[in-house]
Amino acid sequence: MNKKLFSYGILIGGTIGAATALLSAPTSGKELRRQLVENDHEWSQCLSSVKNNLQDIKESVTDMTKEGKDTISLLTNDIKRSVQQWQQDISSNQQNIKREIEEIKHSIDELEHSLREK
């Protein structure tokens, strides 16, 4: 996609450069007008080509934007599913850890109680 945009940029830049060179050439106004009339068809073709290239660029950007949105949407959904799966996976571990902590607390309480009695 970038090569295509780069090619369009070179084409558009070349056209603008040619127009600038032609208009800034040291010729008389009469000679310049004659050259413009003679090259009218070429100018029309260049402008038509630039118009078509700009339309292609616009369509490419639109397509890339849509593809980007779709990709981000898929990525977001994948991340959400992964987080939900992770939460489910650790849920049983959380329960086990809580149970073990309660057992440790109970054991400590029993030890404290037995130490107080002695």
Query: 59-104: per-residue pLDDT in tens?
Result: 888 888 888 888 899 999 999 999 998 888 888 788 888 888 999 9
DSSP-assigned letters across all residues of 39-84 = THHHHHHHHHHHHHHHHHHHHHHHHHHHHHHHHHHHHHHHHHHHHH
* Burial (CB count <10 Å: 0-12, 13-18, 19+), residue 5: middle
Residue 13's pLDDT band (cuts 50, 70, 90): confident
> What pLDDT is attached to residue 25?
66
> pLDDT of 41-57, one tens digit each?
787 887 888 888 888 88
Please name which of 11, 17, 1, 2 lies closest in space to residue 51, comparing C-alpha atoms: 11
Please name which of 28, 5, 25 lies closest in space to residue 17, comparing C-alpha atoms: 25
Model pTM above 0.85: no
Domains of the chain, by residue range, sit at 2-117
